Structure 1
Amino acid sequence: MPLDSIGDSSPPVRTARLASALRRERRRVVLGYLLLAVAWIASSDAAVFAMVGNTPQAALWQSGKGIFFVFASAAVLYLVLRPLGRHLLQANARLAASEARHRQAFTGNPGPILIYDLQTTEIRDANPAACQLFGWSREELLQQPISLLWPAGAEAQLAARIEQLRQHPAESCVLRSALQLRDGSMRQMEVRSNAIEVDGRPARLLIVIDRTAEDEALLRRDQALQRVDEAHELARIGAWQLDPATGLAHFSPQIYQLLGRRPPQVRTWHPFEDLLVPADPATAGMAAQLLAGMRSGGPVHVDVLLPLLGMDGRPLMAHLRAEHGLDEGGQPRVVGTLQDVTEREQSRRLLREREEQFRELVRVLPDGVIILSDDHVLYANAFAVRLFGYQGHALLGEPLHALVCHAGLEGVRAQLRDPPPPASTGHAIVTGMQRADGEQFQAGLAVGEVRYGGRDCHLLIVHDLSGAERTRAALENSNRELQAMAGRLFSLQEDERRAISRDLHDDIGQAITAIKLSAWAALDEADHARRNEDLEQIVGLADSTVAKLRDLSTLLRPPQLDALGLEAALRWQAGVLFRASQTELLADIQPLPQRPDNDIEQACFRIAQESLTNALRHAHASQVSLHLRDIGQGRLHLQVRDDGEGFDPMGPRGLGLIVMRERAQSVGGQLHIESAPGEGTLVDLHLPYRAGASPAEPVET
């Protein structure tokens, strides 16, 4: 078969038919010619001898008869062979046209195609697309082994495959392999191999498809899906879908992990309410209503917060979203997400608490705080309202020129237009102000820029200078009131914690212990093994619940503080905090000559607890030292030092440091904190043994 006709079965079939017809016609012509010659010779000789009697005349007739036979047979052969020759020429022309078309299809095919000899593995032909892909010219590829395109190290595998094809030459195969280009780079290819013949020898036709871009796209898709899963894990969110007809739901692995369960190995459908355990009866009723709505078949739009319980009993706040949709098969489904927003909700609650604390601080601040927008009052604290002689909210909306005397108005506006940097000091201006009744007074003004109500505003802090001593006295009185309020607040918190600890330990603990005893009693009864297993689970749950309640009680109010005193409580707290930490603790807790008052012990313990917790959580310290000792004069000294990252004392302070300072001041102590970035932190506390004792200067240590 010619090389140019590779890939089409019609030319070989037509060629075989033509050869068969030629052989058949050749036999018919030869046989007919022989029969005609024999018949002519026999009949003509008999006719000549019958018609002519003498021999010379008969010989002449015989010669004429032979000449006639030659011309007649030549004419007959011409007439017989003429259609056969015409048919042969037409078939040859069709074959040549077919070979030209297939050669054009081979060379013009946009896909790379190669042909190699199956016995010698030499490349016999390659179309332009193959040459362009592999970077070789057609002349360079011809007579080269097909192994030229395979990377180093794949020779044995390629030889085994070729040997298999030699044993089964008619076999077609498809394989994926990395092929090597002329520049040495590798491309992932799909190779389709089919059997052909070239010049009567077995060969293979290779159709090469470059799958590199497809594989890279699949890899990018897998990486993107992996990043999505990682994002879901970081965001603590998972997807689910519900079949409204059955009420069964399928959950993503992230949801199982959020709920403290092990994800199943195969896709599993659960009843929706089995996996999501409500934390209280009200949530259970809400979940039942939501499930009924999702199974109703109508439009679904769910966006709620649900308090749930994990498998370990841990409460969590879940954000449940759902919409009506379809699955891959077009079946109706309710699809949604479940996100653990426990930390977010706690952060929001903390933020609200801090905002309330900030508002309270601004409210009791002994300076007027005014926020201006377009030279009009947008906010004013209670002190500013009283300072300017207004009632209620009458100050809101007042223009700036109603508060500042005419002589100092332009200076105040200039300060507002170009306020000093936040870190600068000494930029307060003194100007005349006026109250609602027209009375004027001198005030020191500090200005700044703030965001309030979603817009840029100006902050104006007004300090009344008309009675400095009166203001100082009021400030001291306010500070004493604040300290008294803080001390009372801390005392109430400790009393409440003690009460909660006692209730949890005495009431709930005894109730759970009773459950445990009842469960053990049930084990002694003759019953089924299933009941025994259930009762054993009840016992285990009771044990763990009692342990959790005991731990909670200890965290709320360590019993060592009441039973054994401050020294034992500090040792216990330090041991609990540093038990699982790699940070080294150097504890030097000396016995105190007398036991401090309850308020003193509470303040000292809580300040030490906060200091140690800050060193572990924020300082990233390698070593923390804790010292407690008596320093005489009816005072004790607590010191916590770490070698951690430290902080800028002039920067923003956390609420924990403020609470520590308030605790110390509320019981007549002094708290001193030294720190610098990269130089660790020192918390130095001096407390009296008796609450209400007059403060004394701290002893140098």
Structure 2
Amino acid sequence: MPDPAPTAQAPTIRLLCVEDNPDDVELMAIALERSDPHRQYHLHRVDDAASFVEAIQQDWDVILCDFNMPRFSPYAALQILLARRCGTPLVVVTRAIGEEAAVHVLRCGAKDYLTKDKLGTLPQIIERVMSERQRAQEKERLDRELEAAYRRLQKLSARLVVAQERERSLISRELHDQLGQTLTGVMIHLHAAQRAPDEETARKYTNTAMDMANGAVQQLKTLSFSLRPAQLDILGLVAAVQSAVQRVAEPTGLAFTVTSRGTEPSELGPNAAVAVRLVQEALTNVVRHAHATGITVRLRFLPQGRIGLLVVDDGIGFDKQDLLSGHETERNVGLYGMIERTELAGGRLHIRTRPGAGVAIRAVL
């Protein structure tokens, strides 16, 4: 019959005993062994302030401190622990202690007290104060994580406002510089047609106004597509990305391929629109700065509605550390916009590049 599998041995509990009588420490060790034979305890004795300060440089699970000592006291020990921000719990172990003294030492920071004629309950007290300390440490850790998450949320909220204002500024500029000027030209030619001395001249001005109005319609369609492609709702993400790439790449002579993996869901989430915008911004950066001859866009549909996106060009690349290590400027505003957009959508964006080696932008949304 095979031997039973060995059980994992519980870790040794390290106890710092502040005690001027070595015999009492021996009695505590015997009481712990008898009351809790399945646990290992390591006891180390100190009896004055200097040795106590030196000892707490190490890690201890619990401090057991006698109440009546000629050269030291639990009050002095608690002050030292507080000054050094040491969170090791202290339990008073004494021969006799009055109720008023017990209440006072607990108010000063001791976690519990025990008389030496009841050492059989010492393992339970040690287990309880250790559990309380573990819960307190877990609470501190969660509080730190919550505070860090709150700071990140504040930073993202501020960046969201900046990103929204930047986009509004870009849309305003597009409306003013393109659509506004075109419509102004339409009005000028229509007024000129009204004042024309003959029908032929009026017709010429009217035809020019109609051509400009048609151009305004095309500009409006382009602006609408840049905000949210109609293909996204009608034909899906792959078709929308294909159309977005084609609109930019074909007029500039840029070779391109768009591929996808996985099954596109029948209902797209908000991250689909973010994916299209990232592709548009990446293409804009390629056309303006990369001097590339080709670009590859790969979509991957992941579980739980997530979308993987990869945009690779064969351009001149850039020094990532140099470009993204400072504040936003005209040189890096596009990249920062892509990073902000991805993070605000709950995703992560990675940029891999070096001078002369093109750029690969990978995002998971």
Q: Which has a greater percent of helix?
A: 2
Could you tell me the TM-score, scaled by structure 1's length? Answer: 0.26
Larger-Rg structure: 1
Relative CO higher for 1 or 2, CA cutoff 8 Å, sep ≥ 6?
Answer: 2
Report the structure, 1 or 2, having the larger strand content.
1
